[in-house]
Chain A
């Protein structure tokens, strides 16, 4: 089934630990995105990639890094997790930078 998969579904993490959230799409979309969604703050863009090999910073990039080695995968890494990074993380993709975005099922991350 075409779409976006994210792993893990949920995770509890100790503060200071390193964590990589995985995202894979099979729609051959050029652009991919990472958002976090928090109550009262809505969806906020963390990082994006308009095409394989390029990445850019979104609205809230601090504490996060991404890479885009190929078209399908766009991992998000928290180098040293902090409690304020407790959130639901969504990966999304679109055919082009201004096209409709399709979302994955999300990863619920709790940092203690």
Chain B
């Protein structure tokens, strides 16, 4: 079993829809959780960064962490064609010396006008 599971999609939604992207993980020691967005033929860019459980909102984007269920989500409200990209979750165990990001495979999202 991978440490981080993420459905690769593809996910296709109409413009204006609410999008829910999710990752599950197995290591309860993960403390920091990130969502990156990657446009085609570009490098990943950080979208959201959260610590431990709870919600964090930034404009149309909300990141949610549920540590009890080992489940994180990214919600996109009023989705736009410019949101079409691959979304990668990443998380890190900040204990000890082996502090490496563990990545999901990414979910491909297409928002259709």
Interface residues of A (CB under 8 A from B): 4, 40-43, 45, 48, 58, 90, 92, 97-98, 100-106
Contacts and interface: CB of A to CB of B under 8 A. Distances in A.
Interface of B: 8, 32, 34, 41-46, 49, 88, 92, 94, 99-101, 103-106
Q: Which of B8, B103, B106 has the most chain A CB atoms inside 10 A of its CB?
A: B103
A39 B109 CA distance: 15
Contacts of A102: 45-46
A105 B43 contact: yes
Contacts of B88: 42-43
Contacts of A90: 43-44
B99 A97 contact: yes
A2 to B, nearest CB: 14
24 contacts: A4-B43, A40-B8, A40-B105, A42-B88, A42-B103, A42-B105, A43-B88, A45-B100, A45-B101, A48-B100, A58-B100, A90-B43, A98-B32, A98-B92, A98-B94, A98-B99, A100-B46, A100-B49, A103-B44, A105-B42, A105-B43, A106-B41, A106-B42, A106-B43
Contacts of A98: 32, 92, 94, 99
Contacts of A45: 100-101
A112 to B, nearest CB: 21
B88 to A, nearest CB: 7
- Which of A43, A90, A92, A106 gathers most chain B CB within 10 Å? A43
Contacts of A48: 100
Among A4, A100, A106: residue with most chain B CB under 10 A: A100
Contacts of B99: 97-98
Given A43-B88, A98-B92, A98-B94, A104 B103 contact: no
Q: Which of B45, B49, B88, B100 has the most chain A CB atoms closer than 10 A to its own CB?
A: B100
Contacts of B104: 42
Nearest to B32: A98
